[in-house]
Each structure stands twice: as structure tokens, then as C-alpha cells.
Chains A and B, each alone.
Chain A
């Protein structure tokens, strides 16, 4: 019997597959097909201290092997999340991760403080949303910005702290090191890559926001490379994401250095894909006589 569980910052995940923020609502949308408890965890829809309207539509465009989105953090606010979604999430899910975003540092602090005494297991600091004018990824593109938000939130909460990094930077390892130094317990990467598509007939961008974040299989090799680089640069665990759609991708991501993985865009195509990935990982471990996933994490043998 293989052991699929992984441990991050003292939190035990029954399996390493987590639904990525923004792709799984707050756990309520797929329960017609299977219970939330099948997943190792869920990173909830990115939340801000005040409710947020989001960007005007269209907010999605298909690309080769992926999608662009420009939702812009539409959410009901931290307090709405705590009141309406958290009780059910706690009852039905495994690890509950609150993904927190903000425009200014005080927003992040207020949200973290509001969540500190709740049942969420971890906080994922979103300093990488490419679709908001204020805050979002602007915090995540410099070591100073990333470090200062991490440091402030670290002081505001005792919850284990994941910092979600943007790939839209010159050197992601510098940002990773900066947030580690300020007290991050874990880093998750990658958020979406900034992209754009244009309608050749109207000459208009397809997204009303003009640009959006690219996700899906198209970004997978970029994500693997960045996880690999960060694994070598920091000593805290990594949650790898970006285009994972089949179990082979998950294993690849773990070999690059991820302790757990998140899936998002693949779920739109096949809502059962996270379960198929869990099953595939289990069979792979069984076939290769791997008792614990720690045996493969970061075990790529570079040339």
C-alpha cells in the first residue's frame, strides 16, 4: 500500500493534488460529480478584504493548449467567504487554503487577521494576479514588494503561509528567496503568464481587459523549469502548478521539486482530471515500488 500523503508546514495532505485558486470556486461547484474530500486540498477563490466586482467581460479566450483569463479577482470578500463557504468547506474538504489578495499592504494584513482565528488550514498569499490594476502582481515582481507583503502578513497571522509567485519576472528565484527570508512557509508557482489575443476582424483584443493570464498545458514546461530553479534556491517546500493535466505531469513536477501540485485549467476540460491524476500517481508509485512521495520530490538528475 503506497502512502500518497504529503506534509507542508505541518499540514498533512491525504494526497498531493490540490484544486488551484480561481478554478474550483469555493468547493461548491463540482460536488455533483464527486465529493471535495477526494482532493488533497482546495485553494479557494482569491479573496480580498472587501468584495470585488472583477473586470468586464469577455474574461476568457482560448489559446493553443490553454486559455487566457482576466477575471480580476471577483469575489464576495473575506467575511463573506468565512460566513457562507468556510463551514461547508471544513466539513466536506481536506486541507482548506485561503488565497488572499489585496491592493495595498493593509488589505493583505486585514484579510490575514480576519482569517487567523478561522478554520482555514493555510493562507496562500496572492502577489501574482496579473489582472488587477492595483496590487496583485505588482507586489510579486520585485524582491522588496514581495518581501514586504510577506513580512507584514507573517506578523498578522499564525497560519502556515504559502506565497504564490508570478512567472512574469526576470529571475523567480530571487523573489522566492526574498519571501523565504521574510517568513514564508512554502511557495506556490506559477501563477499565469501575461498574454494577449486579438480578433483579426474587429482588431479588438478578445479580452475586455486587453491582456490576461495564460494557463493550461501550454505553460507546463515553463512551470517545471521555474519549480526546478526554485527548488535549488530555497529550503521551504514548493507547491507546483501550471498546466498540469495528466498524472505524468504531476510526477514530472514533483521530480522538479514540488511537494504537492495544484490543478486548474485541466478541470475545465475534464472535471475528473484531478482524480485521474491521484490514481495515476498511486499506480506509478506502486509500479516503481515508491513508498512515499518524498522519494521522488526534487529527484530529477540534471545533465
Chain B
């Protein structure tokens, strides 16, 4: 795995929901290297730090990458104003992606802006994949059509019950884990959701991989700011979300550390 640094033209820009944008860039060498769950650290003119944004789709054939991101502050707002024909300043692909077993049924769980990185897994596993997606309300729903087209089953949940199941993703997750022979759950989303997903997986004895988020610096493992507490062989230590993650085996993660 290697990464690149350069400017790559935006060939498609779309607004998916209020404050959520999708951009496809022409970046053949990145697409060749990229794996589901990896991210790119994207430069924004006028800001010291790059913005880590997960890769939503990898099209090796056409040499493109898709990013879907939410405006969280001034940096991502500036990023969202870039249009087709302009370029994204990309450092990537970075980090460790999801490790997907071949030919086995899996469940992907995405919460809010944690749904985009799961789409590439769905693309790769299609009919073996069940997607359980959670959003705050109907206005925040993104990528529903893509998931529904790719996956064997797509379950929607909203916090307010405006669409799909009323409540957390964990109820349909537990139900699916009990009835189907799934070999893995992959999840990305807010911390409370990840904690609940991990607990549900433990109860059902199914392995789980989670993608974590942390305030980041370099993106390549040099500065050690994006740490998360992990445990291996009974020993607790800080791992780097950018380099050792962002995807971790659930049993290694210690939240709140």
C-alpha cells in the first residue's frame, strides 16, 4: 500500500442533503491503491490542517474516487464550495481499511455521516451484504438508493421515526444477527452507536470491525495526535487512528480512553 499527494480534478459534485456533499475525482493511481475504509487527508486553501475524509467509492476501472462529507466547520464549508473542473488537494489513500472475508455474508452498519465509507464494502460484497443505516431524521438520509440497489437487504432507521425503524440500529442488527449466518459486522458512525453495535456483536458472538474518528494532524502516522486507546495482549496503549486505523477490530478498542 502506498499513498500519493497531489491535485486531482473534480469530475462530479452533488449535494446529497443539507450540508452533505458528494465529489468524484479523477485519480487513477489512488483508485488503484485504495481499499474500502481508507481515507484521504484533503487540503483546504487557507487552513493549516488537512481534513480527513473517508473514501465512499472506489472505481478502479474508471480511475475515480468518491468522497461524501458533511460541512462541520469553516474548512469543510470551503471544501464544499469547490466545483467541477476545480481540484481536490489529496493526500491518500491513507490508513487501514476493512478486512472483508470473501464469499461470506456480512452486515454493514452506518450512522449518519458514517454511512459513506460503508458503501464501498456494499459495492464489493453486493448480495452477501446487509446494510443497516441510521439517520437523525428523513432529511438526513443519504445514499439510500445506492445501498438498496447493491445490497441483499437495506434497513433504514431514524432517531425520530420519520422513516423506517424508529430508534437505534442495534435492534435490527440484533435481529439480523440472530436469524442469519453472518461472519462479520463492519460499522462506522458516532461513538454511542459504535459502542452499542460492538455490544450487540459480542452478545451474538460475531466479529466486528469499526472505523474510528479523531481530530487529526498529518494523516500518515508522524505526529501522533489522533490517538485512541487500544488494548492488545492485555496491554493498553494509544494507537494512531490515521495509521493503525481508522479501522480497528472491535475488541481492541477502548472508548473514552
Contact = CB atoms under 8 A, between A and B. Distances in A.
Interface of A: 22-25, 28-30, 32-33, 45, 53-54, 56-63, 65-67, 69, 71, 74, 206, 216-217, 265, 267-272
Closest 7 CB pairs of A and B: A60-B225, A29-B222, A25-B222, A59-B225, A58-B215, A32-B2, A29-B220
Given A58-B225, A62-B49, A71-B225, 13 more contacts: A23-B223, A25-B224, A29-B222, A29-B243, A56-B229, A59-B215, A67-B217, A74-B227, A206-B215, A268-B49, A268-B223, A269-B48, A271-B220
Which of B217, B228, B243 has the most chain A CB within a 10 Å cutoff? B217
A53 B48 CA distance: 26
Interface residues of B, number: 31
B37 interface: no
A74 B49 contact: no
Contacts of A24: 222
A53 B237 contact: yes
Given A66-B48, A71-B225, A33 B215 contact: no
A216 B217 CA distance: 12
The listed residue with most A CB atoms (<10 A of its CB), out of B218, B224, B225, is B225
B214 interface: yes
A62 B43 CA distance: 13
27 contacts: A23-B222, A28-B221, A29-B220, A29-B243, A30-B222, A32-B2, A32-B3, A54-B238, A57-B214, A58-B215, A58-B225, A60-B215, A60-B216, A60-B217, A60-B223, A61-B215, A62-B49, A66-B48, A69-B223, A74-B224, A74-B227, A206-B215, A265-B48, A268-B48, A268-B49, A268-B50, A268-B218
B39 to A, nearest CB: 15
Given A30-B220, A217-B48, A269-B48, A57 B225 contact: yes
A253 B221 CA distance: 28
Interface string B1-38: 01111000000000000000000000000000000000
Contact of B5 (A33, A59, A66): A33
Given A59-B227, A60-B216, A271 B47 contact: no
A215 to B, nearest CB: 9
Nearest to B215: A58
B229 to A, nearest CB: 8
Given A60-B216, A269-B49, A53 B238 contact: yes
Contacts of A269: 43, 48-50
Interface string B198-218: 000000000000000011111
Among B3, B220, B223, chain A packs the most CB atoms within 10 A around the CB of B223
Contact of A268 (B4, B217, B228, B229): B217
Contact of B228 (A32, A57, A265, A271): A57
A302 B28 CA distance: 53
A250 B124 CA distance: 48
A72 B49 CA distance: 20
Contacts of A267: 218, 222
Nearest to A22: B223
A65 B47 CA distance: 7
A268 B5 CA distance: 12
A67 to B, nearest CB: 6
B257 A56 contact: yes
Contact of A271 (B91, B226, B227): B91
Contacts of B223: 22-23, 25, 60, 69, 71, 268
B227 A54 contact: yes
B257 A62 contact: no
A45 B2 contact: no
Contacts of B91: 271
A292 to B, nearest CB: 32
Interface string B217-257: 11111111111110000000110000100000000000001
Nearest to B237: A53
Contacts of A268: 48-50, 217-219, 223
